[in-house]
A and B are shown apart, each in its own frame.
Chain A
């Protein structure tokens, strides 16, 4: 039996995940990281007013950003798994429902979805701002995630299913014990990518008056008129967070590629 081929799926617009083989100090990732850290330390030291004030103003925003990101991604993974399974389901009704969900969500900009769930549906169901933000983000990313799961499951050779069925497993068992454990390896890296993309997209929830990093920055800038300084710091904070996350995902990817490496 030929060795099962592992397909890589590229989805989403997350941060560029650094190559796991790139271990040198002079790489784009290291330059960006050291530059971001350097500026974040140097600027407040050289010019405490306003840089240090800005740094003191935004931390609770960072917390909110993380909160929204982690809650949304957790929910999106659950929705994504169900959608992915639904999309390959042979039950026509489930298949149609999952496909419809993906088509509708992918066709509406996230910003519009946020406005819709918060302000438009707010007339009928009163959800707190943070909950609305998480629901909207998870609803949107669940659809993208569904595609990732679907592609991951599809990437497993059909022979595996046949073998599993011939061993007497039913469809549910085949999926749970044979297909998903293998698909997981293909799925995880793009999920990490989506995680970073989602973190960056949480900046959109600032329009719901959620006090995330960006909203805190805007509040500071609108009062002090230090637009250049404020948005420089905001950009650096986001950059630092995504750089660290992308490295973590890269390490994870390296670990998972165990079987591919020789």
Chain B
């Protein structure tokens, strides 16, 4: 009995440090390689996961990732199903009205992906044709803004890539690291990156939290700043994006 008690006490003492550490639950749509995706061991991995883990080490929080469908990811945040979103969310003025953003942790551009045989260089070259993007993404908004192009919205970017691969649509617009993953790796025989689309100013990924959630935002910001200051993000870029 006494040894059992002692063991229990020891267990309590050992688990205390982890209890003191705050857990932040991040929602992520893990269909966006190499930023966030599910690997063959069914773990959510990617650049964003490593980045937040490193940030957590610096700022003293433990990130937990919750795989969530993109369509509805913002509604889930508003409903407080998780503390934050780290899912390659570009910081835009529209989105800033609905939620608060951390400092940027990655800068992206929008890439236009086409079949190898295509000569299109811009969205304007694709007038009258179908171009796909993921619903609710800046890539999709860029397609919709282009005149004369028929915009098609998909639930996942991979489905749009597959439709491009079999030739149902003429092009796909998405973030450049994702574009590189598909066009230079998975579908390298069939697809290519035609161009980087000018969407005005540079696009940055940020961690989204509910408006006024300073506690989480401050911690995340502290972590991001520390990771950048130590130059850890450069290692991560090399690891996941290869540049």
Contact B166 A123 (CB under 8 A): yes
Residue B28 at the A interface, CB < 8 A? no
Q: Count contacts between A and B, CB distance < 8 Å.
A: 46
Mask for B59-96, Cβ within 8 A of A = 1, else 0?
A: 00000000000011011001000000000000000100
Given A119-B162, A209-B163, are A225 and B98 neighbors across the interface (CB < 8 Å)? yes
Mask for A199-232, Cβ within 8 A of B = 1, else 0?
A: 0000000010101000100110111010100000
Instruction: Give the residues in chain B near A128, CB-CB below 8 Å.
Output: 168
| Closest CB in chain A relative to B29 CB, distance in Å | 12
Q: How far is the CA of A123 from the CA of B161 in the complex (A)?
A: 12
Mask for A119-162, Cβ within 8 A of B = 1, else 0?
A: 10011001011000000000000000000000000000000000
In chain A, residues 94-121, which have Cβ atoms closer than 8 Å to a Cβ of chain B?
119
Contact B135 A126 (CB under 8 A): no
Instruction: Give the residues in chain A near B166, CB-CB below 8 Å.
Output: 122-123, 126
Instruction: Give the residues in chain B near A122, CB-CB below 8 Å.
Output: 162-163, 166, 168
Instruction: Give the residues in chain A near B75, CB-CB below 8 Å.
Output: 221, 225, 227
- Chain B interface, number of residues (Cβ within 8 angstroms): 22
Q: How far is the CA of A227 from the CA of B166 in the complex (A)?
A: 33
Given A123-B166, A126-B168, A227-B75, are A219 and B135 neighbors across the interface (CB < 8 Å)? yes
Q: How far is the CA of A222 from the CA of B69 in the complex (A)?
A: 12
Contact A126 B167 (CB under 8 A): yes
Instruction: Give the residues in chain B near A123, CB-CB below 8 Å.
Output: 166
Contact B136 A222 (CB under 8 A): yes
Contact B168 A129 (CB under 8 A): yes
The residue of chain A having its C-beta at the shortest distance from the C-beta of B73 within the complex is: A222
- Complex A-B, nearest 5 residue pairs according to Cβ-Cβ distance, in ascending order: A222-B136, A227-B75, A225-B98, A122-B166, A209-B152
Excluding A209-B159, A218-B71, A221-B75, 4 further A-B contacts by CB distance (< 8 Å) are A123-B166, A207-B155, A222-B74, A222-B135
Chain A residues packing against B (C-beta within 8 Å):
119, 122-123, 126, 128-129, 207, 209, 211, 215, 218-219, 221-223, 225, 227
